[in-house]
Amino acid sequence: MQEDCIFCKIVAGEIPSRTVYEDDNVFAFLDVNPLAPGHTLVIPKEHYERVAELPAELSASVFSAVSSLTPRIESAVDADATTIGINNGPEAGQEVPHVHAHIIPRFEGDGGGP
Ligand code: 5GP
Ligand code: ZN
């Protein structure tokens, strides 16, 4: 655990969050400032800053959780599609330096998009 990391504190239960999914290696929770209803963040429980730092098995676990959660989130909020994205480094817009995949439900005509 990285002491000053918000997402490590969320994994440890020191900061409350709305849990969407959890297993031994992966945690998923609702974004506190959602771009759409159901906007979910999927993170490795262990602290890594950038995608390339993740051990291959953990990377696979995160992506597998993203894959299986996506249709469940879509049906929960009746979305038509999903934007899945990772801001990898501060210059790309990564504000929290703990790897996280965004699952953002999309609706026909919502006019959004990265
Ligand atoms: P980034 O810009 O790093 O890709 O995305 C960080 C995301 O984390 C943002 O969408 C932001 O709303 C979310 N976030 C930041 N702090 C918290 C928090 O304390 N709790 C939750 N649930 N989400 C957070
Ligand atoms: Zn962390």
Residue by residue, pLDDT tens for the chain (114 residues) are 888 999 999 999 999 999 999 999 999 999 999 999 999 999 999 999 999 999 999 999 999 999 999 999 999 999 999 999 999 999 999 999 999 999 999 999 998 755
Residue 100: CATH number of its domain: 3.30.428.10
By most ligand atoms within 8 Å of CB, the mutation choice from 18, 95, 103, 104 for ligand 1 is: 95
Does residue 43 sit within a domain?
A: yes
> For the chain, how many structural domains are there in total?
1
Task: Collapse the DSSP code of 30 into the 3-class scheme (helix H, G, I; strand E, B; otherwise coil) and give the result.
Answer: strand
Does residue 1 sit within a domain?
A: no
Does residue 114 sit within a domain?
A: no
CB atoms within 10 A of CB 36: 17
**Amino acid letter, residue 11:** V
Does residue 69 sit within a domain?
A: yes
- Residue 100 Cα to ligand 1 midpoint, Å, equals 9
d(CA 8, CA 89): 17
- Is 98 a residue of the active site? no
- Which of 67, 6, 74 is closest to 36 using CA atoms? 74
Ligand 1 — pocket residues by CB below 6 A? 6, 15, 17, 29-33, 41, 87, 93-96
Does residue 97 sit within a domain?
A: yes
Does residue 113 sit within a domain?
A: no
Residue span of the structural domain in which 29 resides = 6-106
What is the DSSP-derived secondary structure letter of residue 10? H
